[in-house]
Amino acid sequence: MSMSEHIETTLVTYEYPMNEKIRSWLRLETLLMQIYEQSNITSYSSGIAFFRSVSELIEILDRGEVRSDLIKELEKQKNRLLNWIDSPNVDKTLITSFLNELTPKISSLMSAPRFGHQLRNDKIISMVRQRLSIPGGCCSFDLPTLQLWLNMPQADRDNEIKSWLNSLDPLQEALETVLLLIRQNGSFEAAESHNGFYQGSVEGKELLRIRLAPDNLIYPQISGHKTRFALRFLHIDSENGILPDVIRFQLACC
C-alpha cells in the first residue's frame, strides 16, 4: 500500500444533502443498511433492533413518492450518461456498463409492487410496530406472539426474513445505483478552513461530501441550502478541545 492510499483510508467522510429528496434517500440508505445487517436475528435484542429499523423504513416510504422519484432520477442519469458518451477523454467502457445496468433497473422499478407493501401487511411486523413507540413496550407479556416467533426454528424465521428482504431488493438496488452516480458527479479537492470556518457557493449540486482526518477529534457541522453552504469545524470536546488555526480537508460538491 502506498503512503497516499494509507492516508486515504484514515479519512472520515461526512455527507450533507442540499435538498429534501437527497435527505430522504440518505436516510433510506442508512435504514436499508441497518436492516440487511440486522437480518440475522438470533436473540430478542437483535430482533427488536431489526423490527425498529423496518418500522422506520416503512414510515419514510409512507411519506413520499420514493419510487417515482427514483425512476425520474435514473432516467435523468441515463440521459446525462448518453450525452457524455461522445465527449472526448471519457471512459466509454465505464459509461456503457452503467447504461446497460440502468435500463433493466428502471424496468424493474416500474414493474415492482409498491415499496414496503409486504412489510406493511405482515402480521408480526404490524404487531411489533404498534408497540415500538412505548418505552420497553415489546416485553414478552406485551407481545407473546413475538416471543413465540423468536423461538420458532431458525430456518423458518430465516425464510420469512429472506422473503421480506427480497421485497426490498428493487428499492435497495435502485437507491444504491442512484447514490453511486450522484456521488461520482463530484471529485474531492483539497481545501482548508481558517479559524474553524469555511463557506462556499454551488450551483445545481445536490450533495456535499467532506473528508477529514479523525486524528484531532474534529468534525464539520454543515449547513446549506440550494446554492450556498457553510462548514464550521468543532472539537468533540466542546469545552476543552483545541481547534487548530488551519484545518485541511477534502471537499466534493456532487
- For 55-79, what is each residue's pLDDT tens digit? 999 999 988 789 999 999 999 999 9
Domain that includes residue 194, residue range: 186-253
- For 95-140, what is each residue's pLDDT tens digit? 888 888 888 888 888 888 889 999 999 999 999 999 999 999 899 8
3-state secondary structure of 142: coil
Share of the chain above pLDDT 70, in %: 96
Give the residue from 248, 235, 241, 202 showing the smallest Cα distance to 16. Answer: 202
- For 137-179, what is each residue's pLDDT tens digit? 899 899 999 999 999 999 999 999 999 999 999 999 999 999 9
Outline where the chain has alpha helix (H).
3-9, 20-38, 44-63, 66-84, 92-111, 117-120, 123-132, 144-150, 154-183
Residues 116 and 173 occupy one common structural domain: yes
pLDDT value for 5 = 42
Assess whether pLDDT exceeds 90 at residue 89.
Answer: no
Assess whether pLDDT exceeds 50 at residue 7.
Answer: no
Note whether residue 110 is domain-resident. yes
- For 240-253, what is each residue's pLDDT tens digit? 999 999 999 999 99
Note whether residue 207 is domain-resident. yes
> What are phi and psi for residue 58, nearest 5 degrees?
-60, -40
Containing 235, the helix (H) or strand (E) segment is strand 228-235
Residues 62 and 160 occupy one common structural domain: yes
Three cell numbers at 205? 449540486
Q: What is the CATH number of the domain that holds 192?
A: 2.60.440.10
pTM here is: 0.88
Give the residue from 99, 230, 248, 98 showing the smallest Cα distance to 188. Answer: 248
Residue type for position 59:
E
Q: What is the CATH number of the domain that holds 131?
A: 1.10.3900.10
pLDDT value for 2 = 41
Residues 176 and 148 occupy one common structural domain: yes
Assess whether pLDDT exceeds 80 at residue 21.
Answer: yes
Note whether residue 7 is domain-resident. no
Average pLDDT for the chain? 90
Residues 121 and 167 occupy one common structural domain: yes
pLDDT value for 87 = 80
3-state secondary structure of 26: helix
What DSSP state is assigned to residue 114?
A: P
Domain total for the chain?
Answer: 2
Residues 159 and 106 occupy one common structural domain: yes
Residues 239 and 154 occupy one common structural domain: no
Residues 153 and 215 occupy one common structural domain: no
Assess whether pLDDT exceeds 80 at residue 1.
Answer: no
Note whether residue 32 is domain-resident. no
